[in-house]
Structure 1
């Protein structure tokens, strides 16, 4: 039986782990090793774009790509990891329980929106975290047209003023007017605990955020939070009630619950702490990558964020290093010292910054042009061409 690398997840980190492992195996010209990917569907869902309309189209099939590079795809949902027995239990496409053994496991199961026990949150709030939930929001927005005009129908409350919250809030006015009419008095309210607008993203791009919100008519309620959600709106911690038919929750994410099944240290977001080669500290056969890994990006104390910017190169390294482990060759240390931010700001444009201090480099339409390039080209997987795909999976490629 062939020794097997099993990758859980077909997101950015999972897809690139598979390609990178296949690249190193191709170089070794060995036929006694295999690579398998376990995920609900053979497609890379372009999660960074789920704040946009037409969410159903924001995916890229990877079945033919995996076939081209010799990766086996298994349709299913991972349920349990047996680290000692080196196996994973999963539910297949028919709902049947199955089990698969591994010699090296790469946990690339991603993350999910954090939903604290706020009364009414689970029942009444939307999110743009997964494709299904983003599609549910889109259907809801379209359905608003059938309701009688009212302040609640015209008001959207976005909870959380971080990256996802800002991109969602600045996009929503145009989306809502496309449904309700260009003359509709749309109101978008951003509720955030931070002291001022854009605080979570630093002083460098705050002016751009403020300008974009002013143009779009997004109102910031800083220094406050939502304490309850109901069918008619939200209650704030100061007692104020905002009538709204559309409440969108964007307050943080946490690592996949599967991380809790692997013994090891974790950060506050549930990410497993990994060494320089993305192997889980304390585990001999398990790697974590993407949103499941707390990984150093430099020697200055900075760590990877839960973004595709970090997940893609992390995948290139985790796949390479898991295969290197089986082949008995030297692994490659993961380092990604260059950090950039490209924040979509609706019709106003976008803001692009460089460095952990987020020094503004481009804004407005110039920033928007770069954001379009990133969103529509750079983050998509390569074509199903074996040579091109394997070349693109080199962990030594310089990438932000």
Structure 2
């Protein structure tokens, strides 16, 4: 029997850990149940941190951990999935291709930044969506120091006033001072189409966010979007023209394209619809988790968000359930009633909320300490020691805050 997991993000990592944990508990050998993880590299990109300095350091190796728990690593990118023949076709960077059969499949292919067809965006826009994107932005920012001091050089526009946009924007003033010097007349501007900053956060936390933006000197343009951009400026839908050589796009994500190959319903974000045990609706033997799945967290109408907090726990349930089916065991319904947010606000600290109502629990330096712990400890892989790694993947305890 073979269980194949596509993707080495937070959901894929915990799907592998949880499936291996159940295999171990039931006394089944790796020869009887093979668990294979397919990814271009055996590396976790710590995507929630890519707005920070030195993005090239924001990865964590997975190979030793996978080896410790007897999960096979298959290098390459999954190009196609045939759910009828139960085959995944994989392409490697060197051009070689191969097929891998499966008895159960877990799709954890994550998400991609949605880039609309705005004039100039593809050529001149930056992002913190992927490791390569974040490294490209970082090199660009450092390169600004070699350019003449102009308004455009010293101005950064962030398109999108959601979670990612706010974290990128509030980090930017300090980064610009380090690169350009304290005498530079730097500006950072968030552009948000909705009528309020942080539209998904609700009214409760918004005053804290707005005060933090004022404190770090980030301006906002509300009720406007980016209409076009070039190498030296951006024009907003309001007609405002802003001189800038740096536009960071942070305005929405979609599930990775591979989900479109699964013959099942998807939501407006491209996520596969799954049942409570994370099996793709109407497709036998295929599970999905993380940003690839639209999953109910509870019976009150709350659905998992496209975040590592939800991806980690979903992955643990999906891996457990895929392995359980192969071993003839009962599956376990995914649930995640506890929900918190911790928003980095740069030199203004952070904001910590709890519950779907986003009740504010911590702000400022206290919340910043929690944010640092989340970013540097909690979201990293367990150590590459078999017992500890497997123990970390109990679905009922993963991200139980």
Instruction: Please tell me the TM-score bracket, short chain as reference.
Output: over 0.9
- TM-score norm. by structure 1 comes to 0.98
Q: Find the aligned partners of 1:379 and 1:338 in 2 and give their Cα distance.
A: 16
Correspondence for 1:252: 252
Q: Find the aligned partners of 2:390 and 2:376 in 1 and give their Cα distance.
A: 21
Correspondence for 1:37: 37
Aligned-residue RMSD, C-alpha: 0.9
Residue 172 of structure 2 is aligned to residue 167 of structure 1: no
Q: Find the aligned partners of 1:103 and 1:125 in 2 and give their Cα distance.
A: 42
Deviations 1:78-118 (A, max 9, x none): 11111111011111242212111111110000000001111
Q: Find the aligned partners of 2:170 and 2:111 in 1 and give their Cα distance.
A: 24
Q: Find the aligned partners of 2:359 and 2:377 in 1 and give their Cα distance.
A: 24
Alignment of 1:172-251 (within 5 A): 172-251=172-251
Q: State the 1:183 CA deviation.
A: 2.1
Conservation of the 8 A alpha-carbon contact between 1:114 and 1:254: yes
Q: Find the aligned partners of 1:66 and 1:234 in 2 and give their Cα distance.
A: 46
Conservation of the 8 A alpha-carbon contact between 1:55 and 1:131: yes
Deviations 1:245-277 (A, max 9, x none): 000000000001000000111111000000011
Number of aligned positions between the proteins: 398
Q: Secondary structure at the match of 1:150?
A: coil
Ranges of 4+ aligned residues in structure 1 off by more than 2 Å? 196-200
Residue 14 of structure 2 is aligned to residue 16 of structure 1: yes
Alignment of 1:1-400 (within 5 A): 3-31=1-29, 32-397=32-397, 399-400=400-401
Q: State the 1:198 CA deviation.
A: 2.9
Comparing 146-155 and 193-202, the one that deviates more: 193-202
Conservation of the 8 A alpha-carbon contact between 1:43 and 1:63: yes
Q: Find the aligned partners of 1:49 and 1:301 in 2 and give their Cα distance.
A: 29
Q: Find the aligned partners of 2:98 and 2:59 in 1 and give their Cα distance.
A: 27
Q: Find the aligned partners of 2:204 and 2:27 in 1 and give their Cα distance.
A: 49
Conservation of the 8 A alpha-carbon contact between 2:290 and 2:310: yes
Q: Find the aligned partners of 1:69 and 1:54 in 2 and give their Cα distance.
A: 31
Conservation of the 8 A alpha-carbon contact between 1:19 and 1:319: yes
Q: Find the aligned partners of 2:93 and 2:385 in 1 and give their Cα distance.
A: 27
Conservation of the 8 A alpha-carbon contact between 1:198 and 1:210: no
Conservation of the 8 A alpha-carbon contact between 1:194 and 1:200: no
Q: Find the aligned partners of 2:200 and 2:319 in 1 and give their Cα distance.
A: 32
Conservation of the 8 A alpha-carbon contact between 1:193 and 1:224: yes
Q: Find the aligned partners of 2:310 and 2:198 in 1 and give their Cα distance.
A: 22
